[in-house]
Amino acid sequence: MTRAVVQGVVLFLLPFVLFGIYLLIRRRNPLLWTHWSSQSLWLTIAGLSFVVLSLIATGLLDERQTGAYVPTHVENGRVIPGHFQ
């Protein structure tokens, strides 16, 4: 679960980081709000689009497990991890 949250945050922040790098290449100060104010809406939309597209791609392309799930249990004093049958 933590990996999914971190991945979503990184994908959301990606357009902001790229725009900051663009400002550095153009020799502008990326810490001034005047450079960000006109672009903040579009950067937010781009970040949200990246997150939504990654969720859709994960849902469509992720490997599916078939069969019944057997949860973790103890047999004869040994812990048997959960698995699909």
pLDDT digits (tens, 9 = 90+) for 26-42: 888 877 888 888 889 99
Could you read off the pLDDT of 54-63 as tens digits, one per residue?
Answer: 999 988 998 8
What is the distance between the alpha carbons of residues 2 and 6, in angstroms, rounded to a whole number?
6
What is the distance between the alpha carbons of residues 52 and 22, in angstroms, rounded to a whole number?
24
Helix boundaries (H) for the chain: 2-25, 33-37, 40-61
Closest residue by Cα to residue 40 from 18, 23, 16: 16
Q: Output phi, psi for 22, to 5 deg.
A: -60, -45
> Is this structure's pTM higher than 0.75?
no
> Model confidence at 17, in pLDDT bands (50, 70, 90)?
very high
Both tokens of residue 18?
A: 């790229």
